[in-house]
Each structure stands twice: as structure tokens, then as C-alpha cells.
């Protein structure tokens, strides 16, 4: 019989629908070895289990429930933390939170001090998480202003005070070095150094205590130990015993320099997140809406689908919606990177965060505030910045043992120098080893590059959701394109008109007025192409499904449609018109054929140049389409494709991705997310056109926020630039420690120089990452050496 104390676990569960579900889940949980009893309440949708021994972790309990066919209800949040200074701080937070059985996951981004945490309500809550963070001196920052104060303002005052107190000792030391005899009494140095050591340096003691308390060691341990050794030796040997050299200036200057470095580092880290803050400024707070028979300003949270909103020239569009009145131009550069304003008129969609330039617009909201596209974009960018690329796993392993290794090296240095030279020389060398070692540079190398790169990408219309896919993009060997909405515009447009049809303005007006009666895409394309009708009244109209429209204007019968419509009314015959892939709308007035309009889904202007560019890079190019073979064949003859596949269902596209992955991985899939979501989800790298649906943003690792195919090679360039910057940062972080620590062990570095080097090493890494803010989309990419298949002959081949 077990002697362990039983524990109760109560947690909300989802997926229960009947008493059978209750019985099934209870049985599955009861079969677990450590479970004494399992109860499930259908009414409250909660489970209550009693276990022997330790409370099961949330992820373990979730696995049990998922194995039974259900799931736990979870909550998550993203919070900014204070006092996140190095990789050790990251590990301390993650370790402390994951020690709570109710926490499912906890990830901290060193670059922006952001915590992403998820938990099971009932097993823990945000209050417990806050208390844990406060207990390790990494509290949640409640407001943006508080966060900026904690990151920069306080540290700035500390640096200024430290410099004032340390400067007299530095001046005296400098005079001694040039042969001018000057000396501050020991008690004066002690008075100057003590507030620096224990007031300004208190943050290092708190951080070191918190880190050691939770079984880890961080940069604070190194600084606190090194400066304390110098301070205490000076106090005991120099002041009390009067028998040794004073190193008060070394301790004070090291703390001041480290604080100065942290101050610069925090300012630089703030700059890496400027893109997200710029996006946040686009979020509306107030909306001018029609309430109580007048326009009035209300909080954006009060807006729902169907509300009418007014936007004046120069104002931000405050909702996602559709224009119902007014003509204007909209600037979406901050949101999509599109430099040219876009004309909008009734029926056109607009997005919150864009800027109305000219006319007054009346917009009908199509979503509530929490569902605005701008909010989802910000969320996805922040999620990407929280992610870790594959190389970070290696860096984390190094960082985990870095500080303990430095402590061992410092101890060996101290013992060696004491044995060979003496105690004082040993102390100086050991302190230099402790303060020159910089885990911060290692910890910041990758996340600062990621935060800056994803922010720069968002500014230029590239929304990165999956860092792993961004990392793979630079190695891509094959790229697959959906046709409709990707290589083509996705909407029909007029590509030709028969001679003389539109010479008569009366005919043109009547065609436009009739087509305005229809919502068919071909009708809308013709209305967009033709001048607006002036005062034409359509007396009657009838849509013939799959054929066209019949209308009466001024007593005349008009037919606008295909040959089937003409045959229905015995109009014609007509000569075949149009090419493969085109739709033909015949125009008939009182049984007399006046002419025709040809429409097609036109190829994007940049499609041919893009495929040529990808061919130059040695990337295989495939077209995947559900369209007819003849239409795909016609398109393929105009493009530099390796293969073209027609008449594919969504699942067939997915299977083709699998087949190509086995041959030419990694594979890129580019689509609009409408009927190619399975293929996007299956590809190594999935790129969605922003003109598609919201499914695209969820299915794809990278979303093009505007319909510009040139952003695809730009994304490849971003992948390469980010990879170069991460490798560059890691190289300098490693080389700094590899060179600096041996020099300190050899006694070739004064502790103050070591402290200065340590302080500026992390600053240099962050500053290096900030250079990625200058990244601009570059479409002309150099070919990289690789073993890739030669581009195939332009043409079309079809799937079985």
C-alpha cells in the first residue's frame, strides 16, 4: 500500500458531449498507474483526479486527456518582464515557472524581455505566476511607460551617479600611471565605493541570489562575485590592516561600466522592437460612428459588425469594413509596405490602420475590434519574435554551462596565480576572469537579430509567422505556385473588345447599367472597365444561371452573356471568339449582335520576371492548378516553368508537395490559402498571398501582405540576411569570450578593462542586429553554389 500523500487535481476539460464521454474519460484516467480516483463532471466540464505522490505536470495530464480523445482548457498570455539581463535570467524565469505543475509552457525572449506562458486554469492562475516572477525579482511590467522606465530611465540615473562617485578614483589612478604622485586616503575611497557597490550594485546581488536560489548561475553571479572580492579585499587588507593595495576603484568602475553597458543595451533592445510599436500605433482607440441620429466618437471596443463609421481625409481608417459611400484613396504603406495609394469606392474593402487621403468615407464595419486584421498581424509578428530558430538550441546548451565553466576557470586562475605569484595577483586575475566573461552577448546574438529582422520584414509587407520556415527558405530547391490568385490576379478583367462595340456612348451606358444589376465576377469586371452609366434606368432584368443576363432598357431587350444565352433566344449565330482561358460576353440588342467583350484572369505583371529570376537561382518551378488543362497549358507556354500540373483537387496538391519533398527538399509552396491550405500546411516553406483569406495567415509560415510577387525573392534575401547576421553575432560573441577569458587568466587584463570589454560586448551584438533595420526588399539575388537540378524545358506536364 502506498504511503505517499494523495493530491487532488481539478482542471477544466473540453470535448465532452454526453454521459458516455464522462465514462470513457474516467476509465482512461483511472487506468493510469498513479491515479487513485478519477471523477468527471459533465455539467461543469471539469475533471477531479486523486493521485498518489506528486501532482502530475500539466503537460502530462494533458497527454492523458488527449489520449482519451478530449483536451484540457488552457489559457495563455504574453507579458513584459523587468530585470531580464542575460541568458541566465531567461533560464531562471523558465525554470521557476515550469516548476509550477499547472504551467504548460514558458518561453522568454531576451531581446524584448517578453514572456509567453500558457497554463491550465484550476491547476494555477496568473496570480500565482505573478507571485513566482516577483519572488525571483523578474516582475511583470504593467504598462509600457513603466517598462521603459525600468529599462532605461533608472539605469541612466544609476550610470550618472556611478560615474560621479567613481571619477575621483579613476583620476587619481590615471595620474599615478603617468608618474604624478597622487593618492586618495583609503577611507575616502571606501566612502566613494560603498554606495556604488551596495546601492547601485544591489541589482546584481538580488539577481545573483535569485539565480542561485533556483539552481542556476547568470551574469549577476559573475559581477557580484568579482566586484565583492575586490571590494572586500580592499576593505580588509587595505583599510583595516593597512597592508595591501586598494582595489575600490576596480569594483566601482566595473559596476558603473556594466550598468552603462546595460543602459546602452536596453536602449538598443528597445529599438529592435520599434516595428511592433509602430504597428500598435496603427490600432484605433476611438471611432466616429452613427449613433442616436448623429455622428459621435465612441471607444473602438463598442464597435461591432454592421456599424457605420465615418473617416475624414487625413484620418486613419478605424475599422475593417466595406465602403458604402464616398470616393477616396487609401495609404496602406505602414501596414503592407505598398508605396502607392489605392483608390477606393463603394463596395471596396478597407482595413483598420490604413490612412484615408482625400475624400470623406462612410464604412460599414465587417468585424468587431478584437478581430481587426491589424490586431492579428501584431499577434503573429510577436509570436514570430518569441520563436527560436534551430541554431538557438545549440546556443542555449552553451549558455547553460557557460557561467559555471567561468566560475571554475576563475577558481583555477586564482589557485594558479596564488601558487606562482601571490594572493594579490591571484585576486586581480580571478576578478578579471569573472567580469570579462559575457553570457549576455551569446544570449542576445540570435533573438535580437530575429526581432529586428521580423520587424523590418513587417514594415515592408512580409509577415513571418514561422522562424523555422524563414531559416529553411535560403536553402529552397523547389517552389510550387497555385495559379489563380497567385500567378494570376485572381479576378477577371477585360482583355479585349470587338471593333466598334463601345464607339456609341449610348451603347456603353446601357451595357454598364445592365451589368450593375448583377453580382457576377464578369459583370463586375465590365462595370469596372466601362465609364459609369449616366441616368440609365433598367426597367427589368433576369439572370440566367451559367449563361448571362437579360434586361429591358427603353423598351429594348438586351442580352449580355455567352453563346448558350444567345442560343436560348435564337440570337446569332456568332463566330467563335476568344482564346483559351478567356470568357466571352456577347452583347445583343433586339436580337442583333453588336459585338463582344473578352475577359480573363490576367497574369500578374511580375510573374514572368519572377520565374526567370528563380530559374537563374537554380530553383525548380512548378505550377499547380485545379483549372482545365487547356487553360493551364496556355499559361505554361508563357512562363519559365519546370512542370505544370492541371485539374488538381486540394488533396492532390498536397500529395504532389509530398512527392516533390522526397526529391527536392526543402519545398516552397505559394498560394492564396483558399483551396490550397492543405498544400501550404504540408510544404517545408509556405508563402501565402495577403490578398487571399485569413486562412492563408494561419496556414502559411510567411504571408505577403500585398499582392507583389517580388516579395518572394525578397523573402529569400531576408532569410539569407538574417542567417548571416545571426552567424556574425555568434562568431563575435564566441570569439570575444575565447580571446578575452584566456587573456584575463594570463593576467594581461586589468579588471576595469575587463569590465569595459564585457559591458560593450553585448552592446556591440545588439547594435550589429540593429543594422537589419536597414534591410530593404532586394529582388535581384545572387546565385548560391548548390547541387540543384537544372531548370526544365518551359512547357506543361500533367499529373496522372
Note whether 715 and 453 are within 8 A (CB): no
Q: What is the DSSP letter of 773?
A: G
Task: State the residue for C-alpha cell 557580484.
Answer: 224
The H or E element that residue 80 is part of is: strand 75-81
Full DSSP string of 377-421: HHHHHHHHHH---HHHHHHHHHHHHHHHHHHHHHHHHHHHHHHHT
In whole angstroms, what is the distance from residue 112 CA to residue 363 CA? 37
What is the rounded CA–CA span in Å between residue 346 and residue 509? Answer: 19
Q: CA triplet 554, 559, 563: central angle to 5 degrees?
A: 170
Q: Please provide the DSSP assignment of 153-168 as one string.
A: IHHHHHHHHHHHHHHH
User: What is the rounded distance in angstroms from the CA atom of residue 482 to the CA atom of residue 487?
Assistant: 7
C-beta neighbour count of 582 within 10 angstroms: 16
Q: Which residues contact 311 (CB under 8 A, 6 or more apart)?
A: 288, 317, 318, 356, 360, 361, 362, 363
Helix, strand and coil in the chain, % to nearest 5: 50, 20, 30
The count of C-alpha atoms lying within 13 angstroms of the C-alpha of 123, restricted to the half-sphere facing its C-beta, is 32
Grid coordinates representing 275? 516595428
Contact predicate 711/777, CB 8 Å: yes
Q: How far apart are CA 146 and CA 154, in angstroms?
A: 11
482 is catalytic: yes
SS3 271: helix
368 SS3 class = coil
Catalytic residue among 482, 601, 672, 708: 482
Question: Considering only CA atoms, which of 639, 657, 678, 681 is closest in space to residue 796?
Answer: 639
**And the C-alpha cell for 690?**
495577403
Distance CA 108, CA 96 (A): 12
Burial class (CB in 10 A: 0-12, 13-18, 19+), 539: exposed
Could you list the beta-strand ranges (E) of 562-718.
582-589, 592-600, 620-624, 643-645, 667-671, 685-689, 702-704
* Active site positions, annotated: 482
Amino acid at each position: 500500500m502506498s504511503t505517499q500523500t494523495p493530491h487532488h487535481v481539478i482542471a477544466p476539460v473540453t470535448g465532452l458531449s454526453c454521459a458516455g464521454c464522462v465514462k470513457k474519460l474516467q476509465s482512461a484516467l483511472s487506468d493510469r498507474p498513479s491515479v487513485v480516483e478519477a471523477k468527471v463532471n459533465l455539467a461543469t466540464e471539469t475533471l477531479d483526479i486523486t493521485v498518489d505522490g506528486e501532482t502530475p505536470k500539466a503537460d502530462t495530464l494533458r497527454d492523458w486527456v488527449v489520449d482519451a480523445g478530449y483536451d484540457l482548457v488552457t489559457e495563455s498570455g504574453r507579458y513584459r518582464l523587468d530585470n531580464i539581463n542575460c541568458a541566465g535570467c531567461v533560464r531562471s524565469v523558465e525554470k521557476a515557472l515550469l516548476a509550477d505543475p499547472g504551467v504548460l509552457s514558458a518561453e522568454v525572449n531576451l531581446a524584448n524581455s517578453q514572456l509567453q506562458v500558457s497554463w491550465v486554469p484550476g491547476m494555477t492562475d496568473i496570480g500565482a505566476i505573478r507571485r513566482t516572477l516577483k519572488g525571483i525579482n523578474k516582475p511583470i511590467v504593467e504598462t509600457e511607460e513603466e517598462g521603459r522606465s525600468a529599462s532605461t530611465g533608472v539605469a541612466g540615473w544609476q550610470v550618472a551617479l556611478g560615474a560621479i562617485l567613481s571619477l575621483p578614483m579613476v583620476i587619481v589612478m590615471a595620474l599615478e600611471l603617468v608618474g604624478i604622485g597622487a593618492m586618495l586616503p583609503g577611507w575616502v575611497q571606501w566612502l566613494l565605493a560603498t554606495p556604488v557597490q551596495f546601492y547601485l550594485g544591489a541589482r546584481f546581488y538580488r539577481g545573483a541570489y535569485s539565480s542561485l536560489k533556483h539552481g542556476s548561475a547568470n551574469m549577476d553571479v559573475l559581477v557580484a562575485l568579482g566586484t565583492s572580492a575586490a571590494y572586500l579585499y580592499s576593505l580588509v587588507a587595505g583599510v583595516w590592516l593597512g597592508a595591501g593595495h586598494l582595489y575600490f576603484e576596480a569594483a566601482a568602475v566595473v559596476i558603473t561600466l556594466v550598468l552603462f553597458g546595460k543602459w546602452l543595451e536596453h536602449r538598443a533592445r528597445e529599438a529592435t522592437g520599434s516595428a511592433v510599436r509602430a504597428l500598435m500605433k496603427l490600432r484605433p482607440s476611438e471611432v466616429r460612428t452613427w449613433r442616436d441620429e448623429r455622428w459621435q466618437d465612441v471607444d473602438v471596443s463598442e464597435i461591432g459588425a454592421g456599424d457605420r463609421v465615418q473617416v475624414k481625409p487625413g484620418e486613419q481608417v478605424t475599422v475593417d469594413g466595406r465602403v458604402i459611400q464616398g470616393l477616396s484613396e487609401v495609404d496602406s504603406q505602414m501596414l503592407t509596405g505598398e508605396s502607392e495609394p489605392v483608390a477606393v469606392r463603394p463596395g471596396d474593402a478597407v482595413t483598420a490602420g490604413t490612412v484615408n487621403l482625400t475624400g470623406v468615407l462612410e464604412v460599414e464595419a465587417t468585424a468587431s475590434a478584437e478581430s481587426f486584421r491589424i490586431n492579428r498581424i501584431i499577434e503573429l509578428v510577436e509570436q514570430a519574435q518569441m520563436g527560436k530558430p534551430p541554431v538557438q538550441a545549440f546556443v542555449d546548451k552553451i549558455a547553460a554551462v557557460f557561467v559555471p565553466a567561468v566560475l571554475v576557470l576563475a577558481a583555477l586562475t586564482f589557485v594558479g596565480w596564488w601558487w606562482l605569484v601571490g594572493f594579490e595577483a591571484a585576486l586581480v586575475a580571478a576578478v578579471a576572469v569573472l567580469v570579462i566573461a559575457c553570457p549576455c552577448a551569446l544570449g542576445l546574438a540570435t533573438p535580437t537579430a530575429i526581432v529586428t529582422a521580423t520587424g523590418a520584414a513587417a514594415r515592408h509587407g512580409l509577415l513571418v509567422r514561422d522562424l523555422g520556415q524563414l531559416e529553411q527558405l535560403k536553402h529552397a530547391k523547389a517552389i510550387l505556385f497555385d495559379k489563380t490568385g497567385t500567378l494570376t490576379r485572381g479576378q477577371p478583367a477585360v482583355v479585349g473588345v470587338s471593333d466598334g462595340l463601345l464607339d456609341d456612348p449610348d451603347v456603353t451606358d446601357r451595357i454598364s447599367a445592365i451589368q450593375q444589376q448583377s453580382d457576377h465576377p464578369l459583370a463586375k469586371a465590365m462595370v469596372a472597365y466601362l465609364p459609369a452609366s449616366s441616368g440609365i434606368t433598367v426597367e427589368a432584368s433576369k439572370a440566367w444561371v451559367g449563361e448571362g443576363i437579360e434586361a429591358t432598357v427603353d423598351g429594348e431587350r438586351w442580352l449580355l452573356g455567352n453563346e448558350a444565352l444567345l442560343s436560348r433566344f435564337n440570337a446569332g449565330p456568332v463566330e467563335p471568339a476568344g482564346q483559351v482561358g478567356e470568357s466571352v460576353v456577347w452583347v445583343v440588342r433586339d436580337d442583333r449582335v453588336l459585338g463582344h467583350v473578352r475577359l480573363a484572369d490576367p497574369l500578374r505583371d511580375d510573374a514572368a520576371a519572377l520565374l526567370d529570376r528563380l530559374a537563374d537561382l537554380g530553383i525548380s518551378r512548378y505550377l499547380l492548378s485545379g483549372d482545365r488543362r487547356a487553360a493551364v497549358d496556355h499559361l505554361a507556354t508563357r512562363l519559365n516553368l519546370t512542370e505544370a500540373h492541371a485539374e488538381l483537387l486540394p488533396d492532390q496538391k498536397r500529395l504532389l508537395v509530398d512527392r516533390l519533398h522526397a526529391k527536392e527538399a526543402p519545398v516552397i509552396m505559394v498560394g492564396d490559402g483558399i483551396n490550397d491550405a492543405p498544400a501550404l500546411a504540408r510544404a517545408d516553406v509556405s508563402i501565402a498571398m495577403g490578398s487571399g483569406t485569413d486562412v492563408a495567415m494561419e496556414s502559411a509560415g510567411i504571408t505577403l501582405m500585398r499582392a507583389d510577387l517580388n516579395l518572394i525573392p525578397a523573402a529569400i534575401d531576408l532569410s539569407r540576411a538574417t542567417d548571416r547576421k545571426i552567424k556574425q553575432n555568434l562568431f563575435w560573441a564566441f570569439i570575444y569570450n575565447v580571446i578575452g577569458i584566456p587573456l584575463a587568466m594570463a593576467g594581461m587584463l586589468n579588471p576595469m578593462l575587463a569590465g569595459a570589454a564585457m559591458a560593450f560586448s553585448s552592446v556591440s551584438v545588439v547594435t550589429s542586429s540593429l543594422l537589419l533595420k536597414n534591410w530593404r526588399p532586394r529582388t535581384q539575388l545572387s546565385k548560391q553554389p548548390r547541387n540543384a537540378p537544372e531548370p526544365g524545358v518551359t512547357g506543361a506536364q500533367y499529373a496522372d
